[in-house]
Amino acid sequence: MQYANQSLKPYSTFAIENTVQSLQIFDNLAELSTALKQLPDTFYILGGGSNTIFIEDFHGTLICPQLKGINIEESQTHYLLHVQSGENWHELVQYCLVNDMPGLENLALIPGNCGAAPIQNIGAYGVEFADVCEYVDWLEIATGKVIRLNKQHCQFGYRDSVFKGDLKDKGIIVAVGIKLPKQWQPVLSYQGLKQLPMPVTPQHVFDEVVRIRQSKLPDPKQLPNTGSFFKNPVVEHATYVCIKQQYPDIPAYQQADGRIKLAAGWLIDQCNLKGKQIGGAAVHVKQALVLINKSNASGQDVIKLARFVQEQVFAKFTVQLQPEVRFIGTMGEMQLHEFP
């Protein structure tokens, strides 16, 4: 289906009132493959819109794949799921629990579609998509062929993957392969889950993750937002030691390479920015990591507020926050510093 000059408000959970020149929605692979052969120079591929903010009117083509379907196979030790990219992620987590295939419960209530999960390498409460990924099926624009990339080819990092690097804008994720062990082991390393009573079940973990997230994160349908706005920064150990001398209670997580991951929300909160508002955009009063569209925010409101938060955190901690969300300008994706 093709539409001209459509409002972008329904296609991003931040719900800014901008327009797109051409909108194309596809619910089957054949039509999507055909459309890619006549792809214009300026395009953007959108999943569920939960991690994208349209800062300006987009003068290009917005491609929205909405492929659906879940197939399940089993080995002696694992459940093997083949999931189409248009399936909703949280609904997949629920589906797995109902069908006695646990392993995704720490990733409950993360908004967006399954096709976006590998791009961001979504993660929460000690689990990342990379931990359960078997493969990603990727439709290459240049050849029209579907290529299966294994976990190593995906080059997963913290909120990062090859789909944000070498393969960016060169193809579309059409399906993901997920591998869940039949011998379930709970991941309870993060605060909030350590206190769960034993013996813990997957449903206990799911319920607690949902409870914690709902207590902190506003429902985008009620208060437009894109969830976590900034990445948790990873700093050198020496930097962490300096900060900890002044702030002994700083939350910190040791990384495999010896560096330390800090909590971006905590850093922002220490700058007393909860409730800070510029134009119609604001820092959420309950969770400083979330920026919200409080009152008909413009794209420039968001840019100004995000920069202000960055500046305040850097001035206090000498730590540079990087956005987790993706910003779309007139001609495509842009970095925060590139906007006027």
In the prediction, which pLDDT does 56 show? 97
Angstrom distance (rounded) from CA 107 to CA 98 = 15
In the prediction, which pLDDT does 226 show? 95
Find the mean pLDDT for residues 112-132. 95
The CA angle 16-17-18, to the nearest 5 degrees, is 105
In the prediction, which pLDDT does 256 show? 86
The sign of the CA dihedral 233, 88, 220, 25 is positive
Which of 275, 210, 221, 159 shows the shortest CA–CA distance to 13?
221
In the prediction, which pLDDT does 285 show? 95
User: In 10 A of CB 14, how many CB atoms?
Assistant: 27
User: In 10 A of CB 57, how many CB atoms?
Assistant: 17
Angstrom distance (rounded) from CA 145 to CA 138 = 8
3-class secondary structure for 249-310?
CCCEEECCCCCEEECHHHHHHHCCCCCCEECCEEECCCCCCEEEECCCCCHHHHHHHHHHHH
Percent of the chain with pLDDT over 90: 88
CB contact set of 211 (below 8 Å; sequence gap of 6+)? none
In the prediction, which pLDDT does 36 show? 85
- pLDDT bracket for residue 281 (50, 70, 90): very high
Question: pLDDT tens across 31-78, in order?
Answer: 999 988 888 889 999 988 999 999 999 999 999 999 999 999 999 999
Angstrom distance (rounded) from CA 98 to CA 101 = 8
- pLDDT bracket for residue 132 (50, 70, 90): very high
CB contact set of 318 (below 8 Å; sequence gap of 6+)? 239
In the prediction, which pLDDT does 37 show? 85
Question: pLDDT tens across 178-231, in order?
Answer: 999 999 999 998 878 988 988 999 999 999 999 999 988 899 989 999 999 999
DSSP annotation of 88 reads: B
Q: Which of 12, 105, 324, 326 is catalytic?
A: 324
Peptide bond into 199 cis (omega under 30): yes
- pLDDT bracket for residue 1 (50, 70, 90): confident
Statement: residue 152 has pLDDT above 90: yes
Question: pLDDT tens across 219-266, in order?
Answer: 998 999 999 999 999 999 999 999 999 999 999 989 989 999 999 999
Torsion of CA 133, 102, 324, 6, to 10 degrees: 90
Q: 106, 80 in Cβ contact below 8 A?
A: no
**Higher model confidence: residue 111 or residue 58?**
58
Residue 264 φ then ψ, to 5°: -60, -40
Q: Is 324 a catalytic residue?
A: yes
In the prediction, which pLDDT does 223 show? 95
Percent of the chain with pLDDT over 70: 100
- Chain centre to alpha carbon of residue 34: 28
Q: Which of 159, 161, 208, 326 is catalytic?
A: 159
Average pLDDT, the chain: 95
Instruction: Name the burial class of residue 73, with classes exposed (0-12), middle (13-18) and buried (19+) by CB atoms within 10 angstroms of its CB.
Output: exposed
Q: Which of 161, 208, 228, 326 is catalytic?
A: 228
Angstrom distance (rounded) from CA 214 to CA 333 = 30
Q: How far apart are the first and last CA of the chain?
A: 34
- Give the predicted TM-score (pTM) of the model: 0.86
What would the two tokens of residue 116 be?
Answer: 């976006």
DSSP annotation of 123 reads: E
- pLDDT bracket for residue 90 (50, 70, 90): very high
Q: Is 159 a catalytic residue?
A: yes
Which of 223, 231, 327, 193 shows the shortest CA–CA distance to 285?
223
In the prediction, which pLDDT does 192 show? 82
